[in-house]
Structure formats: structure tokens, C-alpha cells
């Protein structure tokens, strides 16, 4: 009788499985991110829109993190795609760089902490930094635009827009809400994982 | 008129950056390119609708920004500003998506030596967008049949349940599809570590060069115009050349 | 290229104690067409994965024994290498395509094997010719029907010209006409000397092509026959093994023997009650020039099971959706995963109930043989069980009209009978049922009326009693 061997070891085939997962979850993430952030078209709600992205995407991210074998590579590519999408939409290299750093950090966290709750939770919070940065260029470019428009139009309007972007506080608020959204989302996601995905056998 | 996918990508990146960070004039010059290209592709209706909305928002913004319209008014004016920024980006992306076939795009990626480790998830991602919408729609239909609504007693009592109802079936479904997709790919020899050939034809032609140059000129003008020293030295340069 | 499985045991877990395949020995000679049949869960799909290399290269588990393709041991070569010799087609058309357009999809396999561009183009042209796919070229795969997608899948796999084809329930989601086209494709492969291994419940379309049928039970090959031998043993023998009917033309008398026939006659008798629900003006169109559905008047007999038949694209699913909107009907979807939301079966039934009553919910579950699963997660159950859960939530919603979208695709005989029994129970309890289906065996088993939909209009409507042959003919003709 032949020897007993394990099958399905880490190989280029399981890499395909990982990469396909990256593609799928990246697609879902981007769709969810855009839907959630559309609240932000009402300027007053911009700050909340980012927090909602972090909240809503927590559940898929938890599932994604628990499914991929090669955490660092997958997170890097995943965030890279998001950053690249932002780049193509005109948001500049800064966004892409931030995304890649976030991806690297998230991947490392997953590698170090494994698929434990601590690992998933922290990685999720790190991811919120990426979605929070989505608003960054609209900020910096608005400042440049303000410089230009102040030469052309009335100071009163400029002052009003200044409420939106001159001071750094709204930006800090955005990141804070992002992290808050990720924390709340992480707790919800953990419950959903326990309640559903672990019992179905989709996650371990 | 066919553009190489790489040109389209370059156009998208440059155009969108300019639209977001430069004054209106430059943005307009940039998105004129996809607009014209779309007209050449005979997408009259889209361009027409786009321009109507855009002009309304842009002109509205230009006109109202100097006036004092009160708190509520500022909200409307800011919205108009955001629209007049987002829409041009929309038309650029619409053009790129509509006229680029996925395999051409991937062939372009392969030509510039993007590793297969990146093109596989990219293909899957692009191919998956419609699937996500289809599945979400079916689940939404099922939710309606069950009487699960966004604002009902049940969901207000437990606000996160709506997330659960919306996402759990969706995730189960796409996970299953994803697994089957991997299997279908792997049994047809897909491997990130071996090289692939591509059937699609791509290549640079005259039109690519024209678009490329145009982008450079517009961006160049913007850069020069917004930097006083650059502007001055450019003016000096021109006068030295012609005098 | 011969396929040889020597003393193979495989388990999806860490030890061989719960092996799905036990000490299997199988030899398939080059050029043969073999059917792997058996009830759900018997291990036939796992055997197909042993042949196409997914085991041991993709799925995790434990294995012992050897699998040889020709002279090569699959464990010694890569999966990509195996894919040169073995082409695989799976049962779900919507999750097999990697690309968005048809041309790229057919070239996909060849591209992966790094064939030169010119050669790929030649092969694609040849395949398109052979398979008569000209009309499908240059199109978005998302816009194709299930049958068309499946044909593209076959073409994509055939383009790499493998020696062996492995198909896993390829006919599961197809209508009879498309199954006939699938049969042509397989026949052509056999004629070209290829080895074809088909995992199937539905043997009827292969009875003229297959060389032998291997019946798999508990991970072993229990029986082997030629199609003629199996047919000679009679319909009841096949039914007792859980196999679908072997000869579609003889289906009328064969399957209606015994208790099956009685129930059809019983429900046919109820027809004399002459009560029906009439719907008017059922319309749907994406744009006014091309209406998808245009039915001025639609009559559904009460308390009966009506089958809705028609080729793909006739508008059956659209009709179901329109009916749901207009008349508060409950739809059991083809993909049950879309309508399971909660963490326990009991919750699921309670979800649509107004007012919520746990006692009633448990009674509903009992009626569907699901009481022991009341606290299980719905998504963890098997396909047939999930479907019953969805039915349970339909019952608890209290709606009178229940519509089923392809409830028996991919089910073996016993499972199909179970669905049939459930539906009959629902009908006798006062519900009116409409079933969209391609499954003639199922229709003959429990439906009493037929509505034939074509191009968004009702072509014909008749009771099944006395019209069985007409039904079979119409379905084969679709």
C-alpha cells in the first residue's frame, strides 16, 4: 500500500486561489466603499461617510483576512488596487503610497498575530487609514484651488469654504471617525464571523 | 479611432489629476479629449446629457461663488463644486471603460511587464464587478419578499442587522463563486509563476502620439502658469527665442 | 492515454479514517466514454477530481495510492502540466468563465499554456467552426444564456486539445435542447478518439455514447454496466439506485408506475374544482421596442402544481418576478443562498412570519422533516435541506402562491422525489404552486398542469393528464 500523503499544499495553485480571493474582495470592497462614501456628497456628512466605509467593510475584510494564505502579498495587492484606483481617478501618488504602506502593515499584522481576533481587529483598523485617506486630496487640492480663487472672487465665499478645509481639524476628525468605524465594525464583524461564517465552515 | 490601452491609462491619470487640482480651464481642456473621442464613437446621448448637467453645475458654481447665499446656499454651491469636479472624472473613466476590452488592457499590462501575480487579481476584480451587482440585486429582491426593510421596527432595534442581512448571503455567494472560479482557472493551466501569451493586439499609432503630446502640453501649461518663477522664465525663454 | 487509479483512498480531512474514496481501483482505456453515476455524496465528483489533478494539487486532504495518466503519476507533475492532458468542464455555467468576452475565454487555456499567438488564433477559429459558435463570438459572456455559457466552457477546454475530458454534471442547469447540443459535442470528442469521463445523474442523453456506467457507492465502484444492460434491468431498478431515467422516450409509462402514478391522478381529479386565479396584464420590458413579457391574461389553477416550461430566454424568470410584485407570491429562487439570512433554521422560518410564533414555526419545520435541524445554520445544510428551509420560510409568510425556480436542477432521483412530495404536500395544504422547470421526470411526477411560455407570451396551456407525450415532445423540441 502506498504511503499516505497530504494534498493541497501551498503551491502556485493555492496562490491562484489566494489571488482570485484578492480580486473578488477588492471588487466588493471598492463597491462598498463607493456606496458608503456617497453619503459624503452632502458636505456636512463627509466626516461620517468615511467612518461608514470602515464600518461596512469590516465584515468582508474579516472574511478576507481569514481566507488568504499569503497574508502579506494579498494585503499588499489588495490595498495596491485600491490605491491604484484612486490614482487613476486623479488623486495622486500620495494616495497610492499610503495604500501600499497600509497594505504592508496589515499583512504584517496578520502574519504576526495569525488569524486570531487580535490580528483581524488590528488589521481592520489599519485598513481604515486607507479609506480615510480617500478624502485627503480633495482637501489639499481644494487648498490650492482656494489660493487661485482668492485672487478671483470675494473673500466672503472663500472664508466659508475655509470652514471646510483650512484647518486640519476636520481631517483629524475624518481619521478619528474612520478608526471608530473600524472598531465598531470589527466588533460587529467578530460577532458575524462567530454567528455565521465559522458555523458554515467558510472561516476557521 | 483606436487608442492603445496604455495611452488611455495615461490619459485617465493625467486628465483626472488635472481636473482635481487645476483651475477649471485646464480641467475643461483635459476632459474635452474623452468627450471628443466618445463623439467619434457615436455616443451622442451620453455626451449631450453629461454636458448639460456639467454646464449647469459649473456655470452655477462660477456665478454663485462670488455671492453671499447664506448657510444653506453654501451647501448647494459646494455641491455644485463637487459635481463639477466629479463629473469630468466620470466622463474620462466612462470613456476608458467603454472602449477598452479587458483582454487588451491585460495585454498592455503584460507588455509593460506587470507580473502575473497582479494581472490575475486584476482580471478577477474587473470580471467580478457585474457579479457583485447581480448577486446583490437578487439578495435585495429576496429581502423585499421577506419584508426586511431598511427602516422597520426590527432593523431599528438592531441597527447592524441590516448589514448582516445584506452582506452575509452576498459573502457566502461570492465565496462560492470565487472557489469555483479558481478551480476553473487552475484546471486550464493558469499559473502565476509561468509566462502567458496574449492574443489581443495592441500597439501605438499616430493617434496615441497626438493624445500623449496634448496631455503633456496641457499639463505643462498648468505647471508653468501656476509657478511664478517658472512662468517668468518661460516668458523670458520665449522672448529670447523670438526677439 | 489510459487513466489508472490504483488503490486510491482519499479524505478531505487530516486522516484517512473518514475517507470519501476507499481503496479505489479504476481503469479507463483511451477513447472510452465512461459515466460516473451515483447518488449525491457518493464520491463521484471526488473521483473526477482525482483524474483532473485537483486532488492532490489543489484540495487539501490526505491521500494514499497512485493515479496514473498514461505512464505519468499525477503526483509527480504539476497541475498546469496535467491540464495539457485533461480538460475539465463543471456544472455551474456562471462561475467558470474567467474573462468577460467570449473570444478571450476560448483562448484562455491556450494562453495559459503559453502557445504562440498565431497558433492560438488558428485553434480558436477551428473550435468556433466545429462547435458552430459563430453567433456567440465577440459577445459579453454575462449576456449569454446558461446553455451558451456552457458551450463556451466546452470550447475553451477543447481549444487546448487535451486527450481526456472530465465533465462534472455538465447538464445540471441546462434545458433539454441544450443538453442535446452537449451530447453532440461529447459525441464528437468520442469520435476523435478522446477519453471522456462524465459525472452525471442524468444518463439519458449519453445512452448512445457511453461505453460503460460505473455506479459509485460509498466511495467504491459498486456496479458497472453498459447503458443497454442498465436499460434492460428496467426503470424501477435504476430508480432504486437513485438514478434518473435512462431513456427519455420511455419515461411516460416507466416512471409513472407505482405510487408515483397514483398521486398524479389524485391531483388531476382535483382539477374538476375549476377554481383558478386570473392575472391580467403581465408586462415587462427594458425598453419599449423589445418587451420581454407580454401576457394579457394568465390563469393559474388553485391548489395545484403548474409547470412553467419554455426555452431559455422565453421569459419564465421574468414572469415569476412580475407575479411576485403583482400578487404577493413567494419565490423560491434557483440559488437558495440568496434568500437565507439568519443563523438558525428556526430563525429563518420566524423571519417572515407576522406575528412571530415559535410553536407554529416548529410545526412548519416538522412538516418539512427539518425539526432536527431547527438550531443549525441554514447555510451549513445540504442543497436539498436548504431548499426546504426556504420553502419553510415561504410557508410561514402565509402567502398563497408559491413559485419555484428550477427546484430540481442537479438533484438525483431520490432527492427529486422528495421535492416532489414536499410540493404535493404544499398543494394539498391549500397553496397554489407554479414551478419553472426543465425536468420532465419531475413534471410527470407531481405537476398537473402545463403552461408553455415562448417569447414572453403564453404559447399553450393544458392539463398534464392525457397529454404526457405532447409534453415530452415539446420539451425535446425546445
Among B215, B183, B157, B210, residue whose Cα is nearest residue B29: B215
Asked if C59 and A8 come within 8 Å (Cβ–Cβ), the reply is yes
Among C53, C23, C18, C24, residue whose Cα is nearest residue C36: C24
- Give the range with max mean pLDDT: A190-204, B116-130, B141-155, C245-259: B116-130
Q: Does B157 touch chain C (CB under 8 A)?
A: no
Could you give phi then psi for residue B28, rounded to 5 degrees?
A: -60, -45
Q: Rounded to whole angstroms, how far apart are CA atoms B104 and C291?
A: 34
Predicted local confidence at residue A29, as pLDDT = 93
Asked if B188 and C120 come within 8 Å (Cβ–Cβ), the reply is no
Asked if A87 and B124 come within 8 Å (Cβ–Cβ), the reply is no
Beta bridge partners of C3: C28, C69
Predicted local confidence at residue B205, as pLDDT = 83
Q: Does C58 touch chain B (CB under 8 A)?
A: yes
Q: How far is B64 from chain C (nearest CA, A)?
A: 39
Q: How far is C385 from chain A (nearest CA, A)?
A: 14
Asked if B197 and C116 come within 8 Å (Cβ–Cβ), the reply is yes
Of A111-125, B11-25, C43-57, C340-354, the range with the lowest mean pLDDT is B11-25
Q: Rounded to whole angstroms, how far apart are CA atoms B138 and A134?
A: 30
Asked if C62 and A4 come within 8 Å (Cβ–Cβ), the reply is yes
- Taking CA–CA distances from C66, the nearest residue in chain A reads A2
Which cell numbers in the block locate residue C361?
A: 414555526
Tracing cell 400578487 back to the chain, one arrives at C327
Asked if C109 and B189 come within 8 Å (Cβ–Cβ), the reply is yes
Q: Rounded to whole angstroms, how far apart are CA atoms C135 and A49?
A: 46
Task: Read off the pLDDT band of B96 (50, 70, 90).
Answer: confident
Which cell numbers in the block locate residue C300?
A: 393559474
Choose the closest CB to C62 out of A7, A14, A200: A7
| Chain B residues closer than 8 Å to A160 by CB | 74
Among C476, C49, C21, residue whose Cα is nearest residue C249: C476
Task: Read off the pLDDT band of C183 (50, 70, 90).
Answer: very high
Choose the closest CB to C56 out of A3, A5, A17: A5
Predicted local confidence at residue C266, as pLDDT = 46
Asked if B82 and A63 come within 8 Å (Cβ–Cβ), the reply is no
* pLDDT tens-digit readout, C209-240: 999 999 999 889 999 999 889 888 888 888 88
- How far is it between the farthest Cα atoms of chain A? 89
Predicted local confidence at residue C264, as pLDDT = 46
- Taking CA–CA distances from A22, the nearest residue in chain B reads B121
Contacts 24+ apart (CB under 8 A), B18-22: B18/A90, B18/B218, B18/B219, B18/B222, B19/A90, B19/B85, B19/B88, B19/B89, B19/B92, B20/A90, B20/A91, B20/A137, B20/A138, B20/A141, B20/B85, B20/B89, B21/A90, B21/A92, B21/A137, B21/A141, B21/A144, B21/A145, B22/B222, B22/B226
Predicted local confidence at residue C265, as pLDDT = 45
Q: Is the dihedral of CA A176, A84, A71, A200 positive or negative?
A: positive
For the segment C339-350, the average pLDDT, to the nearest whole number, is 90
In this predicted structure, the answer to whether residue C28 has a pLDDT above a threshold of 90 is yes
Could you give phi then psi for residue C455, rounded to 5 degrees?
A: 50, 40
> Is the distance from CB of C439 to CB of C451 less than 8 angstroms?
no
Task: Read off the pLDDT band of C51 (50, 70, 90).
Answer: very high
Beta bridge partners of C69: C3, C72
> Is the distance from CB of C203 to CB of C413 less than 8 angstroms?
no
Asked if B65 and A24 come within 8 Å (Cβ–Cβ), the reply is no
Q: Does A190 touch chain C (CB under 8 A)?
A: no
Quote the mean pLDDT of chain B.
79
Choose the closest CB to C337 out of B103, B169, B181: B169
| Chain C residues closer than 8 Å to A192 by CB | none
Q: Rounded to whole angstroms, how far apart are CA atoms C214 and A109?
A: 50
* Domain range summary for chain B, segments of one domain joined by +: 1-101+204-211, 116-191
Asked if A43 and B78 come within 8 Å (Cβ–Cβ), the reply is yes
Asked if C379 and A4 come within 8 Å (Cβ–Cβ), the reply is no
Asked if A24 and B125 come within 8 Å (Cβ–Cβ), the reply is yes
Substitution target in B116, B135, B140, B142 with the highest count of C β-carbons within 10 Å is: B142
Asked if C58 and A3 come within 8 Å (Cβ–Cβ), the reply is no
Among A162, A182, A98, residue whose Cα is nearest residue A136: A98
Chains that touch C (3 or more CB pairs under 8 A): A, B
* Domain range summary for chain A, segments of one domain joined by +: 13-136+170-197
Q: Rounded to whole angstroms, how far apart are CA atoms C136 and C139?
A: 6
Q: Rounded to whole angstroms, how far apart are CA atoms C40 and C413?
A: 10
Which cell numbers in the block locate residue A173?
A: 476628525
| Chain C residues closer than 8 Å to B168 by CB | 341
Of A55-64, B94-103, B139-148, the range with the lowest mean pLDDT is B94-103
Contacts 24+ apart (CB under 8 A), B126-129: B126/A27, B126/B102, B126/C100, B127/A23, B127/B102, B127/C97, B127/C98, B127/C99, B127/C100, B128/A23, B128/A24, B128/A27, B128/A28, B128/B174, B129/A27, B129/A31
Tens of each residue's pLDDT in chain A, 204 residues: 458 888 888 888 889 999 999 999 999 999 998 888 776 656 566 677 778 888 899 999 999 999 988 888 889 999 999 998 888 777 778 888 889 999 999 999 988 988 888 889 999 999 988 888 877 765 666 555 555 454 444 444 445 555 555 556 667 777 888 899 899 999 999 999 988 988 888 775
Q: Does B171 touch chain C (CB under 8 A)?
A: no
Among C311, C240, C266, residue whose Cα is nearest residue C455: C311
| Chain C residues closer than 8 Å to B147 by CB | 352, 354, 397
Chains that touch B (3 or more CB pairs under 8 A): A, C
- Taking CA–CA distances from C55, the nearest residue in chain A reads A7
Q: Rounded to whole angstroms, how far apart are CA atoms B129 and A78?
A: 15
* pLDDT tens-digit readout, A75-124: 999 999 999 888 877 777 888 888 999 999 999 998 898 888 888 999 99
Among C361, C362, C368, C402, residue whose Cα is nearest residue C388: C368
Within a 10 A sphere around the Cβ of C471, how many other Cβ atoms? 21
Q: Does A13 touch chain C (CB under 8 A)?
A: yes
In this predicted structure, the answer to whether residue C68 has a pLDDT above a threshold of 90 is yes
Choose the closest CB to B180 out of C92, C333, C379: C92
Of A138-147, C296-305, C410-419, C425-434, the range with the lowest mean pLDDT is A138-147
- CA torsion, points A125, A131, A135, A140, in degrees to nearest 10? 80
Which cell numbers in the block locate residue B167?
A: 452582506
| Chain B residues closer than 8 Å to C354 by CB | 147
Predicted local confidence at residue C261, as pLDDT = 46
Q: Does C331 touch chain B (CB under 8 A)?
A: yes
| Chain B residues closer than 8 Å to A45 by CB | none
Task: Read off the pLDDT band of C166 (50, 70, 90).
Answer: very high
Q: Rounded to whole angstroms, how far apart are CA atoms A158 and A161?
A: 5
* pLDDT tens-digit readout, C234-280: 888 888 888 888 777 766 655 544 344 444 444 444 444 457 788 77
Predicted local confidence at residue C294, as pLDDT = 79
Question: To which H or E segment does residue C120 belong?
Answer: helix C117-131
Which cell numbers in the block locate residue B75?
A: 451647501
Q: How far is C141 from chain A (nearest CA, A)?
A: 18
Question: To which H or E segment does residue A154 belong?
Answer: none
Choose the closest CB to C117 out of B141, B195, B199: B199
In this predicted structure, the answer to whether residue C103 has a pLDDT above a threshold of 70 is yes
- Taking CA–CA distances from B129, the nearest residue in chain C reads C100
- Cis amide linkage into residue C56, ω under 30° from 0: yes
Which cell numbers in the block locate residue A192?
A: 458575524
Which cell numbers in the block locate residue C476?
A: 425535446
Asked if C324 and B145 come within 8 Å (Cβ–Cβ), the reply is yes
Q: Rounded to whole angstroms, how far apart are CA atoms B24 and C132?
A: 53
Q: Does B221 touch chain C (CB under 8 A)?
A: no
Q: Does C343 touch chain A (CB under 8 A)?
A: yes
The proportion of chain C whose per-residue pLDDT surpasses 70, expressed as a percent, equals: 94
Which cell numbers in the block locate residue B238?
A: 520665449
Q: Rounded to whole angstroms, how far apart are CA atoms A66 and A58?
A: 12
- Cis amide linkage into residue A198, ω under 30° from 0: no
Q: Does B117 touch chain A (CB under 8 A)?
A: yes
- pTM attached to this predicted model: 0.86
Q: Does C112 touch chain A (CB under 8 A)?
A: no
Q: Does B17 touch chain A (CB under 8 A)?
A: yes
Q: Does B102 touch chain C (CB under 8 A)?
A: yes
> Is the distance from CB of A136 to CB of A171 less than 8 angstroms?
yes
Burial of C80 from C-beta contacts in 10 A (0-12 / 13-18 / 19+) = buried
> Is the distance from CB of C299 to CB of C277 less than 8 angstroms?
yes
B113/A193: higher pLDDT? A193
Predicted local confidence at residue C10, as pLDDT = 93
Give the C-alpha distances (Å, rounded to integers) separating C123 from C109, C160, C195: 11, 8, 20
For the segment B23-45, the average pLDDT, to the nearest whole number, is 76
C49/B87: higher pLDDT? C49
Mark which residues 412-471 of C lie under 8 Å from B by CB. none
Judge if ipTM > 0.90: no
Q: How far is C323 from chain B (nearest CA, A)?
A: 12
- Taking CA–CA distances from A194, the nearest residue in chain C reads C343
Asked if A90 and B66 come within 8 Å (Cβ–Cβ), the reply is no
Quote the mean pLDDT of chain C.
85
* pLDDT tens-digit readout, B176-197: 999 999 999 999 998 888 888 8
Q: Does B188 touch chain C (CB under 8 A)?
A: yes
Task: Read off the pLDDT band of C8 (50, 70, 90).
Answer: very high
Amino acid at each position: 500500500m502506498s504511503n499516505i500523503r497530504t494534498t493541497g499544499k501551498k503551491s502556485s495553485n493555492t496562490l491562484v486561489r489566494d489571488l482570485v480571493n484578492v480580486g473578488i474582495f477588492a471588487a466588493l470592497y471598492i463597491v462598498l466603499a463607493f456606496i458608503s462614501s456617497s453619503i459624503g456628497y452632502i458636505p456636512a456628512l463627509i466626516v461620517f461617510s468615511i467612518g461608514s466605509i470602515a464600518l461596512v467593510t469590516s465584515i468582508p475584510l474579516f472574511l478576507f483576512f481569514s481566507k488568504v494564505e499569503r497574508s502579506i502579498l494579498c494585503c499588499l495587492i489588495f490595498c495596491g488596487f485600491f490605491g491604484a484606483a484612486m490614482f487613476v481617478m486623479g488623486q495622486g501618488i500620495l494616495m497610492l503610497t499610503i495604500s501600499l504602506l497600509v497594505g504592508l502593515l496589515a499583512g504584517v499584522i496578520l502574519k504576526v498575530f495569525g488569524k486570531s481576533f487580535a490580528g483581524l481587529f488590528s488589521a481592520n483598523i489599519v485598513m481604515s487609514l486607507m479609506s480615510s485617506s480617500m478624502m485627503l486630496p480633495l482637501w489639499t487640492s481644494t487648498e490650492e484651488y482656494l489660493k487661485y480663487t482668492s485672487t478671483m472672487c470675494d473673500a466672503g465665499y472663500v472664508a466659508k469654504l475655509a470652514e471646510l478645509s483650512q484647518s486640519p481639524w476636520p481631517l483629524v476628525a475624518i481619521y478619528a471617525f474612520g478608526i471608530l468605524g473600524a472598531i465598531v465594525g470589527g466588533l460587529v464583524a467578530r460577532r458575524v464571523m462567530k454567528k455565521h461564517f465559522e458555523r458554515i465552515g467558510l472561516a476557521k | 479611432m483606436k487608442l492603445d490601452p496604455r495611452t488611455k491609462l495615461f490619459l485617465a491619470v493625467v486628465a483626472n489629476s488635472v481636473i482635481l487640482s487645476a483651475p477649471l480651464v485646464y480641467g475643461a481642456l483635459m476632459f474635452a479629449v474623452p468627450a471628443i473621442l466618445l463623439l467619434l464613437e457615436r455616443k451622442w446621448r451620453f455626451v449631450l446629457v453629461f454636458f448639460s448637467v456639467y454646464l449647469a453645475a459649473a456655470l452655477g458654481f462660477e456665478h454663485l461663488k462670488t455671492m453671499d447665499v447664506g448657510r444653506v446656499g453654501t451647501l448647494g454651491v459646494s455641491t455644485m463644486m463637487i459635481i463639477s469636479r466629479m463629473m469630468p472624472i466620470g466622463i474620462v473613466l466612462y470613456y476608458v471603460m467603454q472602449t477598452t476590452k479587458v483582454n487588451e488592457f491585460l495585454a498592455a499590462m503584460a507588455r509593460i511587464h506587470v507580473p502575473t501575480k497582479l494581472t490575475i487579481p486584476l482580471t478577477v476584480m474587473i470580471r467580478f464587478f457585474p457579479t457583485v451587482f447581480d448577486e446583490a440585486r437578487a439578495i435585495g429582491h429576496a429581502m423585499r419578499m421577506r419584508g426586511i426593510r431598511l427602516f422597520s421596527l426590527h432593523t431599528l432595534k438592531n441597527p447592524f442587522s441590516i448589514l448582516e442581512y445584506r452582506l452575509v448571503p452576498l459573502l457566502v455567494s461570492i465565496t462560492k463563486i470565487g472557489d469555483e472560479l479558481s478551480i476553473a482557472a487552475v484546471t486550464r493551466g493558469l499559473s502565476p509563476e509561468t509566462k502567458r501569451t496574449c492574443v489581443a493586439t495592441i500597439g501605438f499609432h499616430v493617434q496615441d502620439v497626438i493624445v500623449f503630446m496634448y496631455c503633456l502640453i496641457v499639463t505643462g501649461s498648468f505647471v508653468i502658469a501656476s509657478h511664478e518663477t517658472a512662468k517668468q522664465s518661460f516668458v523670458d525663454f520665449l522672448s529670447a527665442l523670438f526677439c | 492515454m489510459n487513466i489508472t487509479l490504483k488503490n486510491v483512498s482519499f479524505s478531505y480531512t487530516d486522516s484517512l479514517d473518514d475517507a470519501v474514496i476507499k481503496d479505489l481501483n479504476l481503469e479507463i482505456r483511451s477513447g472510452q466514454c465512461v459515466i460516473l453515476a451515483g447518488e449525491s455524496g457518493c464520491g463521484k465528483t471526488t473521483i473526477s477530481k482525482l483524474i483532473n489533478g485537483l486532488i492532490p494539487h489543489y484540495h487539501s486532504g490526505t491521500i494514499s495510492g497512485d493515479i496514473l495518466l498514461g505512464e505519468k503519476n499525477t503526483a509527480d507533475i504539476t497541475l498546469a502540466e496535467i491540464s495539457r492532458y485533461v480538460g475539465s468542464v463543471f456544472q455551474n455555467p456562471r462561475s467558470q468563465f474567467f474573462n468577460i468576452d467570449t473570444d478571450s475565454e476560448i483562448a484562455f487555456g491556450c494562453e495559459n499554456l503559453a502557445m504562440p499567438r498565431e497558433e492560438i488564433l488558428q485553434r480558436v477559429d477551428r473550435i468556433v467552426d466545429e462547435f458552430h459558435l459563430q453567433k456567440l463570438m465577440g459577445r459579453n459572456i454575462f449576456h449569454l444564456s446558461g446553455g451558451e455559457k456552457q458551450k463556451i466552457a466546452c470550447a475553451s477546454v477543447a481549444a487546448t486539445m487535451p486527450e481526456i475530458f472530465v465533465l462534472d454534471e455538465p447538464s445540471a442547469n441546462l434545458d433539454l435542447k441544450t443538453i442535446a447540443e452537449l451530447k453532440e459535442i461529447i459525441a464528437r470528442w468520442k469520435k476523435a478518439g478522446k477519453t471522456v469521463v462524465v459525472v452525471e445523474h442524468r444518463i439519458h442523453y449519453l445512452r448512445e455514447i457511453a461505453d460503460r456506467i460505473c455506479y459509485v457507492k460509498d466511495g467504491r465502484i459498486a456496479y458497472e454496466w453498459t447503458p443497454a444492460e442498465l436499460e434492460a434491468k428496467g426503470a424501477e431498478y435504476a430508480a432504486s439506485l437513485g438514478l434518473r431515467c435512462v431513456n427519455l422516450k420511455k419515461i411516460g409509462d416507466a416512471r409513472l408506475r407505482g405510487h408515483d402514478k397514483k398521486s398524479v391522478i389524485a391531483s388531476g381529479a382535483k382539477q374538476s374544482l375549476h377554481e383558478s386565479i386570473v392575472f391580467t396584464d403581465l408586462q415587462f420590458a427594458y425598453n419599449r421596442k423589445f418587451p420581454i413579457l407580454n401576457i394579457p391574461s394568465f390563469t393559474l389553477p388553485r391548489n395545484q402544481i403548474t409547470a412553467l416550461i419554455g426555452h431559455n430566454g422565453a421569459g419564465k424568470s421574468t414572469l415569476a418576478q412580475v407575479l411576485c410584485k403583482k400578487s404577493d407570491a413567494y419565490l423560491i429562487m434557483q440559488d437558495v443562498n440568496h434568500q437565507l439570512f439568519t443563523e438558525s433554521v428556526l430563525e429563518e422560518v420566524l423571519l417572515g412570519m407576522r406575528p412571530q410564533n415559535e410553536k407554529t414555526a416548529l410545526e412548519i419545520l416538522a412538516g418539512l422533516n427539518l425539526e432536527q435541524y431547527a438550531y443549525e445554520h441554514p447555510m451549513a445544510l445540504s442543497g436539498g435541506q436548504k431548499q426546504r428551509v426556504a420553502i419553510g420560510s415561504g410557508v410561514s409568510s402565509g402567502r398563497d402562491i408559491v413559485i419555484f425556480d428550477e427546484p430540481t436542477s442537479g438533484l438525483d432521483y431520490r432527492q427529486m422525489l422528495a421535492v416532489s412530495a414536499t410540493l404535493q404536500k404544499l398543494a394539498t395544504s391549500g397553496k397554489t404552486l407554479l414551478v419553472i422547470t426543465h425536468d420532465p421526470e419531475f413534471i410527470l411526477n407531481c405537476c398537473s398542469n402545463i403552461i408553455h411560455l415562448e417569447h414572453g407570451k403564453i404559447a399553450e396551456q393544458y392539463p398534464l393528464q392525457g397529454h404526457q407525450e405532447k409534453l415530452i415532445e415539446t420539451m425535446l423540441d425546445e
